[in-house]
Amino acid sequence: MDWIRKNDKLISVVAVLVVTVLVWEVLCWYFEARDFILPAPSRIIMEWAEAPGYFLKHAGYTLMTTLVGFALAVVLGVAMAVGIVHSVFLDRTLYTLLVALNSVPKVALAPLFVIWMGTGSEPKIAIALMIAIFSIVIDTVLGLRSADSDMINMARAARASKLQILMKIRFPMALASMFAGMKVGISFALIGAIVGEFVAGETGLGHVILLSQGMFDTPRAFVAIVILGIMGTLLFYMVEVAERILLPWHVSQRSAHTH
């Protein structure tokens, strides 16, 4: 009983997934759905088991593209945010431009990246980066700006330099907001990578889905989709675990430590 109470969230998630899969299986069997319309879960698992190496290779490629795009988005995004917060000029120019660009559906720009960068992994990384960076920049700017003015005064009275205030006060205070941006960003990076693979190239799960569609091989497309679902979930939790490690003091995390 105790174990159940402690893990009630995990148990309910697993239960919902298991029931969904079972209902799906039963419905496919009952209506005799054909594989190319909607394959049953058992069929999808068989498809996966037939060529695990094939899926691993393509998943690895998509994962690599996503992670590189995301990492670049974090580095560039945070650097831009620091510049925007510290310079009126960058605020008026770069930030205004970013906010304006953010309203363009960025997926629409994907084909252009193929023209500019070819069909290798560069355009995919670039698209992942472009889609992920907005939320990171905007949330980091917000976080850096919302630093407690009393705290800044305290540091100034203790004769802290601007750089020290940035590193020791503004950054730690902005972390919660930055992580909110990164959680959105990591999911967006995966979308960007898939869009990049849709547009051009011969590798990645996006390419697998496109290829399966051409051959009406729906079970194979579903394997790729399932892998993407697992990957997206794991990537999101990776950011969340990093947040828990880096922000043990934050209000949203605190309960686990005080009890």
Query: For residue 210, what are its two tokens?
Result: 């496109």
Minimum CB separation of residue 95 from other proteins in Å reads 25
Minimum CB separation of residue 91 from other proteins in Å reads 21
Query: For residue 153, what are its two tokens?
Result: 């005064």
Annotate 195-226 with b (16+ C-beta within 10 A) or e (fewer). bbbbbbbebbbbbbbbebeeeebbbbbbbbeb
Minimum CB separation of residue 88 from other proteins in Å reads 18
- Report whether 223 contacts 52 (CB < 8 A): no
Minimum CB separation of residue 164 from other proteins in Å reads 6
Binding mask 119-158 for other proteins (x = CB under 8 A): -----------------------------x-xx-xxxxxx
Annotate 96-133 with b (16+ C-beta within 10 A) or e (fewer). eebeeeeeeebbeebeebbeebeeebbbbbbbbbbbbb
Minimum CB separation of residue 154 from other proteins in Å reads 5
* Interatomic CA distance for residues 138 and 130, integer angstroms: 13
- Report whether 199 contacts 118 (CB < 8 A): no
Q: For residues 177 and 212, which CB has a smaller minimum distance to other proteins in the complex?
A: 177
Q: Can you tell me which of 1, 2, 214, 258 binds other proteins, judged by CB under 8 A?
A: 258
* Interatomic CA distance for residues 62 and 58, integer angstroms: 6
Minimum CB separation of residue 149 from other proteins in Å reads 10
Q: Which residue has the tokens 């800044």?
A: 152
Size of the site for other proteins (CB under 8 A): 21
Minimum CB separation of residue 157 from other proteins in Å reads 4
108 DSSP assignment: G
- Report whether 81 contacts 137 (CB < 8 A): yes
* Interatomic CA distance for residues 247 and 253, integer angstroms: 7
Binding mask 211-250 for other proteins (x = CB under 8 A): ------------------------------------x-xx
Query: For residue 198, what are its two tokens?
Result: 């849709």
Measured on CA atoms in the order 235, 46, 35, 207, is the torsion positive or negative?
positive
Site for other proteins in 169-208 (CB under 8 A): 169, 172
Site for other proteins in 155-174 (CB under 8 A): 155-161, 164, 168-169, 172
Q: Interface residues with other proteins (CB under 8 A)?
A: 148, 150-151, 153-161, 164, 168-169, 172, 247, 249-250, 254, 258
